[in-house]
Homo-oligomer: A and B are copies of this chain.
Amino acid sequence: MDKSLLIVGVGFMGGSFALALRRGGFQGSIYGIDINSVTIDRAKELGVIDEGGTELSLTKRFSPDYVIFSSPVRTFRQIAGEIKGYIRRETVVTDLGSVKGKLVFDLEGILGGRFVGSHPIAGTEKSGVEHSFPELFENKKVVITPTERTEKGALDEVVKLWELTGGKVEFMDPMLHDWVFGAVSHLPHAVAFALIDALIEMSNEVDLFKYPGGGFKDFTRIAASDPVMWRDIFLENKDNILRAIDMYSNSLQKLRNLIEREEESALTEYLREAKQRRMSLE
């Protein structure tokens, strides 16, 4: 019999996950629950989900084999607590959240070892189910964060789901995950949001947004990301992000001081090292 799946939070990520699974050959029913009924209607129209609604209690009727959390990360604990009473013993639960760490252990505390944390390293600055597309995860890394408590069977099932989407699975410790992605993803988002904020402040005299040349648009694209999603990421990964922002501020001050003191050769070296390191990524 085909297995069924429930997506909680049918936005850009959850919608793309559903479409990617279908494209990968997933045959069972796909259900969706979202706080916004308009989202559910749109997701049905777009063929992203087969059926859905706005109440978590619908989970009982859907009786899914898999549940995927894809709402903002700070909602997961409450959703897990509510949904626990509606799912079957063998239902496997995973998520698409950008924060793992303590959240994974808390969710295991609620749901047990059938919860498996996952984080696809894929996304755009777009939000909303209407922007979903099935190729989002194709050849993208998916970081899965099992713990000592993770059930082997649940882990295997989650890996299989991700393989259907075209994602490339890697495993990582949940705490290490939050430091790494705090640095390479959450910090750049904070830096980009702050850049727009600064330009708003600086536009008191001249409207700087009239001159968006010189790489500015590419550089700040990620600042168009969903505010509630990012508020939750920043708060849920607070300690790592604060540490990363502080280390970043030191690097920026170092650059500032080289400019102020006109230390030509040290300044060139600073920029050259950054260029070389960045180019090594291509």
**Which B-chain residue is minimally distant from A255 (CB atoms)?**
B194
Stretch of A38-46, A56-64, A236-244 on the interface side: A236-244
How far, in whole Å, are A262 and B235 apart by their CA atoms in the complex?
Answer: 6
In whole angstroms, what is the CA distance A245 to B262 when docked? 15
Query: Does chain B have a CB within 8 A of A79?
Result: no
In the complex this chain forms, how many copies of it are found? Answer: 2
Known: A188-B214, A213-B185. A238 touches B259 (CB 8 A): yes
Q: A1 at interface (Cβ–Cβ under 8 A)? A: no
Contacts of A252 in B (CB 8 A): 190-191, 194, 198, 245, 248-249
Residues from chain B with a CB closer than 8 A to the CB of A272 are 227
Residues of chain B with a CB closer than 8 A to A282's CB: 224
Chain B residues contacting A209 (CB-CB under 8 Å) are 277, 280-281
Who on chain B is nearest to A205 by CB? Answer: B179
> Are B215 and A218 within 8 A (Cβ)?
no
| Cβ-neighbour of A255 out of B190, B206, B281 (below 8 A) | B190
Give the interface segment out of A82-90, A110-118, A263-271: A263-271
Q: Which residue of B lies closest to A243 (CB)?
A: B202
- Residue on B nearest A230 in the bound complex, by CB: B271
Contact between A183 and B197, CB atoms less than 8 A apart = no
Contact present for B201 and A251 (CB under 8 Å): yes
Picked from B181, B234, B274, the residue with its CB within 8 Å of the CB of A259 is B234
Across the interface, which residues of B come within 8 angstroms of A185, CB to CB? 213-216
User: Are B220 and A199 within 8 A (Cβ)?
Assistant: no
Cβ contacts A116-130/B at 8 Å (1 or 0 each): 000001110100000
A251 engages B198 (CB within 8 Å)? yes
- Please tell me if the beta carbons of B238 and A278 are within 8 angstroms of each other in the complex: no
Within the assembled complex, what's the spacing in Å between the Cα atoms of A185 and B201? 16
**Nearest 8 A-B pairs (CB), nearest first?**
A121-B213, A185-B214, A227-B271, A198-B251, A196-B274, A194-B252, A197-B251, A198-B248
Residues of A whose CB lies within 8 Å of any CB of B are 98, 121-123, 125, 140-141, 176, 179-181, 183-185, 187-202, 205-206, 208-209, 211-228, 230-231, 234-235, 238, 241-242, 244-256, 259-260, 262, 264, 267-268, 270-275, 277-282
